[in-house]
Structure 1
Amino acid sequence: MKKTIVTTFALLSILNFTLKAEENRETVTDSTAVKHLNLSEVQVNASRVNAKMKDLPQKVDVISRRVIEASPAADMAGLLKASSSVDIQQYPGVNAGIGIRGFSASTSSKYAVILINGKPAGTKNIATIDLNNVERVEILKGPFSAQYGSAAMGGVVNIVTKESTGDIAGAVDLQYGSFQTSKANMNVGGALSDVFDFDFAYSYYNQAKDYKVGDHNFYDEDYAKTILDVSTYGERMENSQLLKQNFDARLGIKLSENWKINYNASYFLADDVEAPGTFWHIYGMNKKDLDKFSTGMDVLGQIGNHKLTISPFYSKENSDFFSKDMDANYYQSSENVFKNYGFLINDAIAIGKHTFALGIDNNTEKYESTLWGNSGDEAAPYLPNYSHSATGIFGQIHFKLFNDKLNASVGTRFDQIAFKINENQFLNAKSKTENYSVLTENIGLKYDLGLGLAAHASWGNAFLAPDAYQVAGSFSTIYATTKGNPNLDPEKSNTFDLGFAYKDFKKGINFDLTYFQTHHKDKIVTESIDPDGTPYNGDEYNTYMNANKADMNGLEVVASYDFGALSDYDYSLRVYLNYTHLFDATVETKSGNEYLESQMKYVRDNTASFGIEFDNLKGFTTRLNGRYIGHRYEDNWITTWAKTPINFKGADVRPDLLNESVLRHPVSYVFDYSANYTFKEKYSVGITISNLLDENYTEKDGYNMPGRAVIAKIGYRF
């Protein structure tokens, strides 16, 4: 924490010095070479009202294509963790979730809505989203249920894909490096005629050798070893190999000057992905097959001052899991199918400088699962089949008042939700149907104080419907039994934020300080039940309950300075910091007649990305990026689930913590470095070093992440 504060003050001192030195500068040339540096002018697609980033009262981060290309990330999870102050929980084996502003980073991404071009991404797993065809990523922080319905409590991530309309051009690159990792990326796009344009992208990723866990800790290694355990340092994560491929295609049809259709399709395929079941293989060394097909259409048109979007979508995601029997032979143990379909209609009406967006949003999710034993007989699944359908009608107004000094945004949404659980004899689950409606609102204000200064504030409420797993799920392992609670209520939240910003692209300065506060009612938490009060006699189980309340408050700092502004952007040399600090994150539960307050689990107290990047705007780029992963409280699964010591290679795991039910996980610092040089405007060579300092760290207890990895790259543009 102290290091982060010092870094913040040092950066602010640089900004203040440069501001004074630059008071009399001339206007920066707005050349094509530097336009991609000025993200405040980017139109944020996820805003519904086609507003520019600089005009939105809500907190928005944008990750540009320039940053994506410089990142060593292989998927959306890797990009977000290194390029924004969001929290990512990632497992080996293509599985990751996101948390924003203190909401836990569940791998089901319950508290964040994931969109691709404004439509549902068709997956809760951001590790299945490839980067090859991504133009930029928009991260909206705060409650957005008034625009996107259930789950938008922490925020929204909207992924904007490429739309090439000029001359046909493309690129191909080949990469190879640590853990026998090979990568290949290809993309091409452009106009086929005055009517048709297209994009096509393909990516291949193969990690043919188990990765090696990091061997050091940058900060407080003695404490880190008590949690991570000495047995993990510098060792191989057995059963961590994977192979995945991704295809993306778009066909654009220009119907007239004001009307166009974009048809999109994507296919993700990953077979025989290895799942280690923690470093110590507590849950076995298994495999899984993943495949996902998504398709959708955007009908874009303009009639007078009406800008219309009609977008139907469909996706299907299959997850097949394979376990080992007593003879170490694989058998299919489960099959899960997730379908997501619906449509979006949005009309953005321009009235002078103001915009009014009105629309309807229909979204259905269906989940089907089947479980088998090693004999091939069908068994009880983790949860019954279910469907969740929501139809929302929303309105959003964006005003520009007082000579454009005040930007105001007001919105509301009414959702009608139908929730159905199918009967399942194995789970003793009865068919159940629920219908309910929810009204959500938001409001935001941003006022230009002059000289680049602005004040902004926003408020919004949000909700999250419990899923079938929490309501009617039931499964048992050798460690514990988990049962759903049919009486769960939806979670509800209210969030307020207030901040000040100073932005001046001509001077190279971008700074924003935002305080946020969230009150959470009926938060769904886990609880251990022991009916007769006798420990570990077989009748105890875990279930879900609504907490009385939960509260979070914190501070976000976004700061950067580009030294290139000193030379009229002949180059870019930018230092940056994106930091989220939680002052408090507590949950209050009722036990008998008493209310007990405790620290919220699975929530990071600090998350940050920071670093320095250089671009000579003539073909050479280099970037050193750091990621700060703060403490978080997490159940000690050895005590909570296994209930007996875990022995690995003759020694007990975490022997001094066997009686601790909750652990405070250590701080980690993860640094990445990249450099790329393009010559003759066509050829490129580059190198990336992930986890430069070989940090041993986890994002989920027991699942240590890869250590240092070096990847070399060659590329060709045409």
Structure 2
Amino acid sequence: MQKAILSLFLCLIVSSAIAENEGDTLRHYHISEVTVATSRTNAKLKDLPQKIEVIDQSVISMSPATNVADLLKSVTNLDIIQYPGVSSSFGMRGFSPSAHSRSYTLILINGVPSATTNAAAFPMAAIDRIEVIKGPLSALYGSDAMGGVINIITKEAGSDRANGQISLTAGTFGTQRIAADVSAPLTSASSFRLGFSKNEQNSNYRIGKRNILSQPELSELILDKKSFGDVMLNSKYTTHDFTGQINTRINNKWKTSLDVIYFGADDIETPGNYWGSYGQSKKDINRLNLAGNVSANYERHKLSLSPYFGSQNTRNYSNNSETGYVSLDSDIREFGLRMHDNIGLGFMNLLVGADVDVYEYRSDRFSGKGTPANPYQPDYNHRKIAGLVQASRTISQLQLNAGGRFDQISYELLANDMLNSQKGSETYNTFNPSVGIKYNLPLNFAIKASYGTGFSVPDAFKVAGNYSVSEYFPAWDFWWVKNYEGNPDLKPEKSNTMDLGLSFTSSNRFFSGDITWFKTRHDDKIVEYTFKRNNEQGEEITITSYKNADKSNHEGIELMGAANFGTLFDNRFKLELYSNFTFMLNYTFDETKADVTTTYDMLYVRKSNGSFGILFDNYNGFQTRINGRYIGNRLEKDSFSALRPNITADHYHTKGGYEAKDKILELPNHIVFDWSVYYTYAGNKRFGIGVSNLLDENYSEKDGYNMPGRMVTGSFSFLF
């Protein structure tokens, strides 16, 4: 299948190159002209050698997705772990998604840290576009950007005249949404924007009833045959958000802006899993993001100074009843300052910058209402001071960029009497370079290559921790105790990534395509291990610690292509066929136990991912889009063997280094379709119908957590 798709793709490129005709392309907007904010140099997409995907308003406005996680998984080839209850995390290019507070994929809001890895906790109404950069970006943004960066860019306040819109949506599963947005000038030199949205699902969702692709019996056993068309209990939620922005132009060179985003959700129901074996509970999420910017535009200098603050509080309850209490209360705070100067030197452009970032984690755990219990880990801080430089130069058809970033990272672990944890600290330095080259060939072809390194800092308790976690189980009259000890010699995880690509865009914009090969070596992976030691009383105890031991290798091919048949009819309409696929050629990691090294396939990484579809716009108010998402097979550990007795040892995956005793399942592949149709009347009234999971597929993004089946919504928007 992969060879067939690749052959067809290359044939399309060649045939388009031969058959293209020179048309008037200046009067039609093209995505390659977009300025990429994540580059920090305001470079155009067409001039960057790195692999970048931009999800603009034409895609966002046509998607039936209710949050950023649903949008991203349907149009980009990212790996996702997603649970009911507004929870998700992403990975890309073989880096497994993580459901924890840290990740290999960095999520930014307007170029600054977001204080979360949960893309499901981002509403759609305030978003202007999303930039997805695949590959390491630590040379620009530091830690946690090993796999790539997702930069969510919000709408800007308009300065010309007052405008806005209000949207109402209703549909299945008790779905109700309202969104309002207004933008207006305050004075001749300032403007503001205010937005609000509320999203409700007032009924438990129903799981899909069928599978489009032919599935073996094991696939039905994994999904559970009883789940087809069944209801996912305890899956209701309500979220709301407020966004605001103030822009002020001080003079013809200096301007300022302030962005505010608040996301809130109380009593989000969490089913635990399809069977409810982990207990039906609820949680609250409250996140605040503040970001300021002071910028100046001189002839040779473009200065930017961006202070930011982000915080997210999550409260998990013991159950979803009146007697439920907060069992875990956690806070994440990120704040700092981003500074850079884009210097025009005539023969090249130079970016010089400095970043100061602080990351703080705090948590409280309770065994009863108001009864403290020892937390799962101590509170800790990371402080990072970084300097960076990037140079870019264009020589005729050749574009070059190169640079690097030096980070000094300080870990601080706070004392905790309940954990018997002492205060500790460590410091680490790291340098990460990057280089890219792009050359424009004849016939509108271009070749590109890039290399970069990335890093991810370990949590402070893995470096400087020394504590014990205990919990009493009265039913068995048993104390569970686990002893932890940090490793001061622990190094950040590192990666090296090489990209090679070929792209093509016909002169009349009929066809555009891109093929990219990437290869990543991920070193110094942090793993948990145990050893024995006598305590002060002379008793032998087991200590859990951490070490840099494992490595992994990721290799794959990414294909993108789009053909707009409207260009063949003088652009009187748009009829676009598009596709975007990722095929993993290698996604393995090495693990050493007792001096024996075994190579395993990665968990949670799809063998292949893809999106494809057709979009029609008659440029007279009518738009419709059908989008398909192909979800490839993935491996997961069977955590529910007691709940699925029909799954036996014979069903477990015994390839890629695994044995039946490891209880690894190969989850099935799926295709999920979405459809939407909109009509704009009189230029300011928009009616729409959206259908998520059009063919009612039963699938999961995490084993045991079946996703919603077909959801139909109707919407009305009024623009003023």
TM-score, structure 1 as length reference? 0.92
**CA deviation string 1:28-48 (max 9, x = no partner):** 3x33xx31xx11000101111
Please show how residues 530-569 of structure 1 align to structure 2 within 5 Å: 545-569=547-571
Q: Which runs of 5+ in 2 are unaligned?
A: 534-540, 653-660
1:500-649 mapped onto 2 (5 Å cutoff): 500-504=502-506, 506-525=508-527, 545-638=547-640, 645-646=642-643
- Deviations, residues 119-172 of structure 1 (Å, cap 9, x unaligned): 112222111122211111111111111111011101111112111222211111
Match of 1:238? Answer: 233
Whole-Å Cα distance in 1 between the matches of residues 716 and 6 of structure 2?
37
* Amino acid of the structure 2 residue aligned with 1:62: V
Give the length in aligned residue pairs: 693
Identify the residue that residue 168 of structure 1 maps to in structure 2. 162
CA shift for structure 1 position 357: 0.6
Contact 2:347–2:393 at 8 Å: present in 1 too? Answer: yes
| The 10-residue stretch of structure 1 (231-240 or 242-251) with the greater mean CA deviation from structure 2 | 231-240
In the alignment, the residues of structure 2 paired with residue 355 and residue 12 of structure 1 have an alpha-carbon distance, to the nearest angstrom, of 35
By how many angstroms is 1:99 displaced? 0.7
> Deviation at 1:653?
6.7
CA-CA distance at 1:288 after TM superposition: 0.7
Equivalent in the alignment of 1:157:
150
TM-score (norm 2): 0.92
> 2:230 is aligned with what amino acid?
E
Which residue is equivalent to 2:486? 486
Q: CA deviation at 1:425?
A: 2.8
1:406 to 2:403 alignment: no
Cα displacement (A) at 1:27 = 2.1
Q: Which one of 86, 103, 108 corresponds to residue 110 of structure 1?
A: 103
Cα gap change, 1:646/1:562 in structure 2, threshold over 3 Å: closer, same or farther? same
Quote the Cα distance in structure 2 between the aligned partners of 1:508 and 1:175.
35
Distance 1:687 1:484 in 2: 54
Q: Could you give the per-residue CA deviations for residues 357-388 of structure 1, whole angstroms, max 9, x where no partner exists?
A: 11111111111100001253211212211111
* Deviation by residue 1:429-472 (Cα, 9 ceiling, x = unmatched): 33221111111100000011122111100111111111146555
Amino acid at match of 1:154: G
Question: 464, 481, 484: which is aligned to 2:456?
Answer: 464
- One-letter amino acid matched to 2:455: F
Shift of 1:575: 1.0
Distance 2:277 2:429 in 1: 43
3-state DSSP of counterpart to 1:566: helix
Whole-Å separation in 2 of the counterparts to 1:581 and 1:484: 39
Shift of 1:702: 1.2
> Is contact 1:411–1:442 with CA below 8 Å preserved after alignment?
yes
In structure 2, what is the equivalent of residue 534 of structure 1? none
Matches within 5 A, 1:186-197: 186-197=180-191
Q: Which amino acid aligns with 2:522?
A: H
Give the Cα separation in 1 of the matches to 2:630 and 2:461. 33
Q: Is the 8 A contact 1:420 1:433 kept in 2?
A: yes
Aligned to 1:185: 179
Q: Match for 2:635: what amino acid?
A: Y
Matched, 1:259 2:251: no
- Residue number among 24, 27, 30 corresponding to 1:27 in the alignment: 24
Deviation at 1:353, TM superposition (A): 6.0
Residue 719 of structure 2 corresponds to: 717
Q: Residues 541 and 683 from structure 1, CA distance in 2 versus in 1: closer, same or farther, beyond 3 angstroms? A: farther
What is the deviation of 1:476? Answer: 7.0
Gaps of 5+ in 1: 532-538, 640-644
The counterpart of 2:68, out of the listed 52, 69, 76, is 76
Match of 1:380 among 370, 374, 382: 374
Q: Is the 8 A contact 1:371 1:381 kept in 2?
A: yes
Q: Contact 2:623/2:679 (CA < 8 Å) preserved in 1?
A: yes
CA contact (8 A) 1:621 1:677 kept: yes
Does residue 1:679 correspond to 2:681, yes or no? yes
Q: 1:428 to 1:698 in 2, by over 3 A?
A: farther
Partner of 2:430: 438
Structure 1 residues 712 and 541: CA distance shift in structure 2, 3 A: farther
Distance in 2 between the 1:698 and 1:165 partners?
A: 45
Letter in 2 for 1:670: V
The 5 A counterparts of 1:48-59 are: 48-59=40-51
Kept after mapping to 2: 8 A contact 1:60/1:138 = yes
State the shift of 1:530 in Å.
11
8 Å Cα contact 1:547/1:589 also seen in 2? yes
SS of 1:67's partner is helix
Residue type matched to 1:549 in 2? K
Kindly indicate whether the alpha-carbon contact (under 8 Å) linking 1:558 and 1:579 is maintained by their aligned counterparts in 2.
Answer: yes
User: Alpha-carbon deviation of 1:290?
Assistant: 0.8
Of the three residues 343, 352, 360, the one matched with 1:358 is 352
- Alignment partner for residue 293 of structure 1, among 288, 291, 308? 288
Q: Give SS of 1:231's match.
A: helix
Matched, 1:92 2:84: yes
Change (3 A) 1:436 1:541: closer
The Cα of 1:660 is off from its aligned counterpart by: 5.2
SS in 2 for 1:188: strand
Mean Cα displacement is larger for which, 658-667 or 302-311?
658-667
Residues 111 and 153, structure 1, Cα contact 8 Å, conserved in 2: yes
Cα deviations across residues 374-420 of structure 1 (Å, max 9, x unaligned)? 2532112122111111111000111111x2x1111101100010111
Moved more, 152-161 or 217-226: 217-226
SS in 2 for 1:294: strand
Does the Cα contact within 8 Å between 1:547 and 1:587 map onto a contact in 2? no
Against the structure 1 CA distance between its residues 16 and 213, is the aligned structure 2 distance closer, same or farther, given a 3 Å change threshold?
same
Distance of 2:113 and 2:225 partners within structure 1: 42
